[in-house]
Amino acid sequence: MIQMKPVRSKTVWMILLGLAGLFELPGLALPAPVPVVENSLTEVTRKIQAAYERTTDWKAEFEQVTRIEGFDSPITSRGTVYIKKPGRLRWDYREPNQHQILVNEQKIWIYTPEQKQVIVSPFAEISDSQLPLHLLSGVGLLDRDFNVQWTDPTRPRPQNRPALTLIPKDPNTGLTKLLMEVDPATYFITKLTLLEANGNQSGFQFARIQNDTGLKDRFFIFTPPKDVVVVESPLRRP
């Protein structure tokens, strides 16, 4: 029986890295949740961006479902994600296989305890497209890089979570669209789905979201155990 491991396409990688770009501006404490009111599409877009601009660090439980074109069954992974600005990211996968992904400054570490191996890659190697990075950062603008619309214009609001469809303006991103749902009280993203031009689809569901918990920088530094083989992935040049 072949055991399938989580697939990490370049586009999926960009969302993982994009989440690390959420916190590029000075952090402020988030205000207490306010009563949900109906907002225009423009106002919802603005509030999503503002929520992340005010945040210093962020963690959540996640479920990742990856559907690969040509395969009947999706691959489901679960774990915890931690993010701290500037550009620190850690994904601790628990299911179906334990492994870690850490991003800090110029390197990405992929550690698989079962294989006793860690792969180290330059950040630039998988940063060909910056679109998702701009999407989830406090620097980029949703309506600059995407045509933003309600996923279902007939869906009543504000009773439901705001759901947006984002169509990239740049046709060379490898994405056909992104689907996004946000918490109507905090405007944190609770669900993000990437639909790639090659037919692959990756979805991330976030739960138990906490922000500004005081994560330390050392939490994002990977020190290989003595019995682990370190594989350096060289920077590929065009």
Task: Specify the number of domains making up the chain.
Answer: 1
Query: Does position 64 have pLDDT exceeding 70, yes or no?
Result: yes
pLDDT tens sequence across 179-207: 999 998 888 889 989 888 888 888 889 99
Instruction: Kindly state whether residue 238 falls inside one of the protein's structural domains.
Output: no
Give the pLDDT confidence of 136-161 residue by residue, as tens digits. 444 456 777 788 899 987 765 555 78
State the residue range of the domain holding 53.
10-25+36-229
In a domain, residue 76? The reply is yes
Phi, psi of 203 (to 5 degrees): -120, 140
Q: Which residues of 109-143 are buried (b: 16+ CB within 10 A; e: fewer)?
A: bbbbeeeeebbbbebebbeebbbbbbbbbbebebe
| Distance of alpha carbon 78 from alpha carbon 6, whole angstroms | 10
What pLDDT does residue 125 have?
A: 54
CA atoms within 13 A on the CB side of 25: 15
pTM above 0.85, yes or no: no
Is residue 237 a part of any domain in this protein?
no
Answer whether residue 37 shows pLDDT above 70.
no
**What pLDDT sits at residue 13?**
53
Supply the CATH number for residue 201's domain. Answer: 2.50.20.10
**Residue 177 domain-assigned?**
yes
Residue 30 domain-assigned (yes or no): no
C-alpha 93/C-alpha 82 separation (Å) is: 11
Cα gap 146→25, rounded to integer Å? 21
pLDDT of residue 157: 58
| For range 13-19, the mean pLDDT | 52
